[in-house]
Amino acid sequence: MSYKDNTEQKNLLNQFLAEHGVQLSEETLGKLYQFADLVVDTKEFGNLISAKDAGKFLSRHIADSLVPYIYIGKEITLSSVKWADMGAGAGCPVFPLAIAMPNVQFFAVEPRHMRVNFMQMVKEKLHLDNLTVVGKRFETSGLTDLDFISCRALSTFENDWERAQAGLKHGGTFVTLKSFNNIAHLENDPKVHIQKYELPEEEQVYALVTRGNNE
């Protein structure tokens, strides 16, 4: 499968971005397609993506990974910003974010050896100088004073927030992507901001959930 030749998937992704006021350069889109191909087609590092998701990787996983860029990243201009992704797995959302935001220093934190090797290979193939792969659990990574910490479908919001807190700088932001059903109970929490969104051809509602480390 080659995503650069998959017109339907490319159109779905670009329509999703356009609906949110985002237009990425051809170079950036090309790297996103290349990343998608590597995740779907690379077999020597184990099963990186389920068979049912392989055919919709752009519209489901890349689009979802770019949601923090749509709502947060477009406003980031400082090159000193540090952003870590906990439990990075095969690289979503951290690789699409690093591709879209080359001025931000990203850390892909993942303890599983095969996933670490895969992400290191992808980093080198895509020449992502703004991304560092860290083969450890976040708690033992030594990363601190971070502006942003993210995760995607890792655990409950409460557990993820507790893990992230120690690494965030004062005034930093925790960012997570969840199914809305899993975080609906947070809607009346004044410390939490929820941005609901939908993905192309997906039935459920999703949520970008953020909480600032201001205490």
Specify the CATH number for the domain of residue 111.
3.40.50.150
pLDDT tens digits in sequence order for the chain, 215 residues long? 576 678 899 999 999 999 999 999 999 999 999 999 999 888 777 777 777 777 899 999 999 999 999 999 877 877 789 999 999 999 999 999 999 999 999 999 999 999 999 999 999 999 999 999 999 999 999 999 999 999 997 799 999 999 999 999 999 999 999 999 999 999 999 999 999 999 999 999 999 999 999 86
Pure H helices in 42-185: 51-54, 63-65, 67-71, 94-100, 113-126, 157-165, 180-183
Q: Would you state the pLDDT for residue 6?
A: 83
Number of domains in the chain: 1
Q: Which domain holds residue 101?
A: 3-212
CA–CA dist 205, 102 (Å, integer):
29
Q: Would you state the pLDDT for residue 74?
A: 76
Q: Whole-model pTM?
A: 0.95
Q: Would you state the pLDDT for residue 3?
A: 67
- Please enumerate in sequence order all residues whose Cβ is within 8 A of that of 169, keeping only pairs 6 or more positions apart, or say none: 144, 145, 146, 147, 213
Phi, psi angle pair for 32, to nearest 5°: -65, -40
Can you tell me which residue has the tokens 């749509």? Answer: 70
Q: Which tokens is 62 given?
A: 């890349």
